[in-house]
A and B are shown apart, each in its own frame.
Chain A
Amino acid sequence: MYLLVILIPLLSAVGSGLGGRYLGRRGAGLLASVWVIVSCLLSFVLCYEILINGPTVYIDLGRWIESDLLITNFGLQFDTVTAVMLIVVTTISGLVHIYSTSYMREDPHLYMREDPHLPRFMSYLSLFTFFMLVLVTSNNYVQLFIGWEGVGLCSYLLINFWFTRIQANKAAIKAMLINRIGDIGLMLAIILIWIKFGVLDYCSLFSTLYPSSACTWICILLTIGAIGKSAQLGLHTWLPDAMEGPTPVSALIHAATMVTAGVFLIIRSAPLFDHSPTATIIVGLVGSLTAFFAATVGLVQSDIKKVIAYSTCSQLGYMVMACGTYSCISSLYHLLTHAFFKALLFLGAGSIIHALLDEQDLRKMGGIIRGLPLTYILMLIGSLSLAGFPYLSGFYSKDLILELTYNSYCLISIYWLASITAFLTAFYSFRLIYLSFVSKPNLTRISAQHLQEADWNLLGPLLVLGVGSILVGYIAQNMVFAPGVRPLPLVPTIVSLAPVIMSVTGILLVFILRPYIIYYITRPSIYGFLFYAWEFNQIANYYIGSTVWKFGHTISYRTIDRGILEILGPTGIARFLVDRTKELSSLQSGLLFNYALIILVGAAIALKCLIVN
């Protein structure tokens, strides 16, 4: 059963990928959805065993790399962290599979045309799920790296799903490349672990740890890996661009699962981080800065998916920040609740986009509460949960993280950044609700006429996620934190109340600031600065991208490749030989007296040689 959870998505990917043309659109959708749901149910059973009954299961699948210096097995490890990740991955993935069968077709009211590539889409989704499961269940770093690269690959394939669009291609390449930067960090960390400790599987590694400077370096490199994958400050630019993919992809990959891989890496390596206070502080700072940065940018975005993308970035910052307070388990908790409400928000946004005939601009929405009441309620639940409204799932985890940061013994600035972020989060999530559902209608006539809820394949997953967003936080409180293990932060009353105050203020502020929410985007202004995401892309393109590009063209290509190497190599040698032989042959000038001279000189030299010898 433990193996089945992982293998079923793979079978589903192979089945709908290779047999898609025989199964047809409907068949592939059905096959993939049912299989992933089966995997999801299995993972629930499995979580019951692991979380409630409390064993850790190790499965050895056989030898992989065998040499004297390094022995790596294929192996699975199911513990609390894995169990929580399993729930997240399989549940969200199963729901997204169902959702996609309805979403991935063009508007049914205007012209009945279905996406002909649905089997391919389903195959990629299942493959993604498989790689994510490999990532979370592996018992060593090398096998984790398979999953790590696999989800990167699937992210490329899925962002690029509509491959005829140039923007989608560019976004996919960007996602792949920026992820690679982080992957190099992870790879170096793995190599360093191997050099220092000689083992790569978690059990042996974590039992042989000792504090050393190598630990710090390993942790910093692991953090770089997490920064790339989890879209932390510096390498975050791929995440908003990845919204070029279809909405279910954004929900699955860029909200609930793939981006959490970076956080998962830190949580998994928690014992390593325990030995390195420096790296832990760095993690905390990076996380809090990311949370703050993304929240400010989220305030002013006009694309509905980008708002949610930046909120994902911000919440990932929260998770990473929680790891920076020596409380990885609370990070895991937030990861779990976040997966539910963020998937809900993304799929809800997909429902809106679907109903508005692929309109993503918040400024061209408004007033669709009349046409989409159910979506409105679900989006409201998602947004309240994201804003940390009391008794919804986001509240439990976010409140815990805020109290932990207040209590942490390192930097109090992390707490302030996190609190401001909580306020901003509430503001932008209700700005989204207000602009899309409540404000004055700003739709085109044709989309206003066709405004209606989609079918149940699309709404069903939303309902499940809505229930999840309400309940998961409460239910998981005692499941994730086994009784007695949970850290109890001791904080003043005002600090424990602060998150609630912040979020309620943020929500209310939206309705006070109503007329000023949309503003004209001009470059030299604070609004423009925030809209263009603190100009990170411009800076990266101008200072890094174009410099590297120019270096590559002038130095590597023109100077070295076509210059030095070419002159020392083929062209230079050939030209040299040809020139010399031309000079030699021009000695034979056709003039008799020259011949006579040469004969004489030759005879003299020969004579000289003879005499000398």
Chain B
Amino acid sequence: MSYLILSIVILLIGILGIILNRSNLIIMLMCVELVLLASTILLLFESRVFYTLLGQIFAIMILTVAAAESAIGLAIMVNYYRLRGTIAVRALNLLRG
């Protein structure tokens, strides 16, 4: 049960981090990592509770995806920094409705 609460808290921290963060893009990326981490913990917990392997398979897959995602995200960020000289989230408002 405490795992469930832990993972949900981490998930909420990650989501709130994405929503409330106004300064740095890296923090946003880290928050995304947190969200993925929380879901991984949730899956592992679920596989432990229900005695299935599917959750663990998914957890490994999410780890892979998270690694790939953070690698691509960092690459985009670096490119963006080269282009603009800043990675403040505030500055990412060129496209507005």
Chain A contact residues, CB within 8 Å of chain B: 585-593, 596-597, 600
User: For chain B residues 56-97, which have a beta carbon within 8 Å of chain A?
Assistant: 89-90, 92-97
Contact of A589 among B20, B21, B22, B93 (CB under 8 A): B93
Q: Are A597 and B90 in contact (CB under 8 A)?
A: no
Chain B contacts for A600, CB-based, 8 A: 15, 19
Give B22's nearest chain A residue, CB to CB: A593
Chain A contacts for B97, CB-based, 8 A: 585-590
Chain A contacts for B20, CB-based, 8 A: 593
Q: Are A593 and B18 in contact (CB under 8 A)?
A: yes
- CB of B33 to closest CB in A, whole Å: 15
Contact of A596 among B19, B90, B94, B95 (CB under 8 A): B19
Bound complex: CA of A422 vs CA of B95, how far in Å?
94
- CB of B96 to closest CB in A, whole Å: 4
Q: Are A591 and B19 in contact (CB under 8 A)?
A: no
Contact of A597 among B19, B89, B96 (CB under 8 A): B19
Bound complex: CA of A590 vs CA of B90, how far in Å?
9
Q: Are A591 and B18 in contact (CB under 8 A)?
A: no
- CB of B53 to closest CB in A, whole Å: 28
Contact of B95 among A585, A586, A587, A590 (CB under 8 A): A590
B42 within 8 A of A: no
Q: List 28 A-B contacts (CB under 8 A).
A: A585-B97, A586-B97, A587-B97, A588-B96, A588-B97, A589-B93, A589-B96, A589-B97, A590-B92, A590-B93, A590-B94, A590-B95, A590-B96, A590-B97, A591-B22, A591-B89, A591-B90, A591-B92, A591-B93, A592-B89, A593-B20, A593-B21, A593-B22, A593-B89, A596-B18, A596-B19, A597-B19, A600-B15
Chain A contacts for B18, CB-based, 8 A: 593, 596
Bound complex: CA of A530 vs CA of B19, how far in Å?
89
Chain A contacts for B21, CB-based, 8 A: 593
Bound complex: CA of A226 vs CA of B13, how far in Å?
93
B28 within 8 A of A: yes
Chain A contacts for B15, CB-based, 8 A: 596, 600
Against A, the Cβ 8 Å flags (1 = close, 0 = not) of B1-40 are 0000000000000010011111000001000000000000
Chain B contacts for A597, CB-based, 8 A: 19
Other than the known A590-B96, A591-B22, A593-B89, what 13 A-B pairs have Cβ atoms closer than 8 Å? A585-B97, A588-B96, A588-B97, A589-B93, A589-B96, A590-B93, A590-B94, A590-B95, A591-B92, A593-B18, A593-B19, A593-B20, A593-B21
Top 7 A-B residue pairs of the complex, sorted by shortest distance between their CB atoms: A588-B97, A590-B93, A590-B96, A585-B97, A596-B18, A597-B19, A596-B19
- CB of B29 to closest CB in A, whole Å: 11
Chain A contacts for B28, CB-based, 8 A: 592
**B interface residues, how many (CB within 8 angstroms):** 15
Chain B contacts for A586, CB-based, 8 A: 97
Bound complex: CA of A588 vs CA of B22, how far in Å?
16
- CB of B86 to closest CB in A, whole Å: 14
Chain B contacts for A596, CB-based, 8 A: 15, 18-19
Chain A contacts for B95, CB-based, 8 A: 590
Bound complex: CA of A592 vs CA of B80, how far in Å?
15
- CB of B64 to closest CB in A, whole Å: 24
- CB of A341 to closest CB in B, whole Å: 88
- CB of A452 to closest CB in B, whole Å: 91
Give A588's nearest chain B residue, CB to CB: B97
Bound complex: CA of A607 vs CA of B96, how far in Å?
27
Give B21's nearest chain A residue, CB to CB: A593
Bound complex: CA of A587 vs CA of B96, how far in Å?
9
Chain B contacts for A593, CB-based, 8 A: 18-22, 89
Bound complex: CA of A491 vs CA of B93, how far in Å?
108
- CB of B18 to closest CB in A, whole Å: 5
Bound complex: CA of A592 vs CA of B17, how far in Å?
12
Bound complex: CA of A592 vs CA of B91, how far in Å?
10
Bound complex: CA of A591 vs CA of B94, how far in Å?
9
Bound complex: CA of A225 vs CA of B21, how far in Å?
85
Bound complex: CA of A587 vs CA of B95, how far in Å?
12
Give B97's nearest chain A residue, CB to CB: A588
Chain B contacts for A591, CB-based, 8 A: 22, 89-90, 92-93
Chain B contacts for A590, CB-based, 8 A: 92-97
Bound complex: CA of A492 vs CA of B92, how far in Å?
114
Bound complex: CA of A596 vs CA of B28, how far in Å?
11
Q: Are A592 and B96 in contact (CB under 8 A)?
A: no
Give A584's nearest chain B residue, CB to CB: B97
Chain A contacts for B19, CB-based, 8 A: 593, 596-597, 600
Bound complex: CA of A591 vs CA of B95, how far in Å?
9
Chain A contacts for B93, CB-based, 8 A: 589-591
Bound complex: CA of A596 vs CA of B18, how far in Å?
7
Bound complex: CA of A596 vs CA of B29, how far in Å?
13
Give A591's nearest chain B residue, CB to CB: B93
- CB of A87 to closest CB in B, whole Å: 87
Chain A contacts for B96, CB-based, 8 A: 588-590
Bound complex: CA of A586 vs CA of B97, how far in Å?
6
Give A597's nearest chain B residue, CB to CB: B19
Give B28's nearest chain A residue, CB to CB: A592
Give B18's nearest chain A residue, CB to CB: A596
Give B89's nearest chain A residue, CB to CB: A592
Bound complex: CA of A313 vs CA of B97, how far in Å?
76
Bound complex: CA of A596 vs CA of B96, how far in Å?
15
Bound complex: CA of A600 vs CA of B12, how far in Å?
11
Give A585's nearest chain B residue, CB to CB: B97
- CB of B68 to closest CB in A, whole Å: 21
- CB of B62 to closest CB in A, whole Å: 19
Bound complex: CA of A165 vs CA of B87, how far in Å?
81
Give B25's nearest chain A residue, CB to CB: A592
Bound complex: CA of A588 vs CA of B15, how far in Å?
19
Chain B contacts for A585, CB-based, 8 A: 97
- CB of A597 to closest CB in B, whole Å: 5
- CB of A49 to closest CB in B, whole Å: 92
Instruction: Give the most central of A588, A590, A592, A600: most B CB within 10 Å.
Output: A592
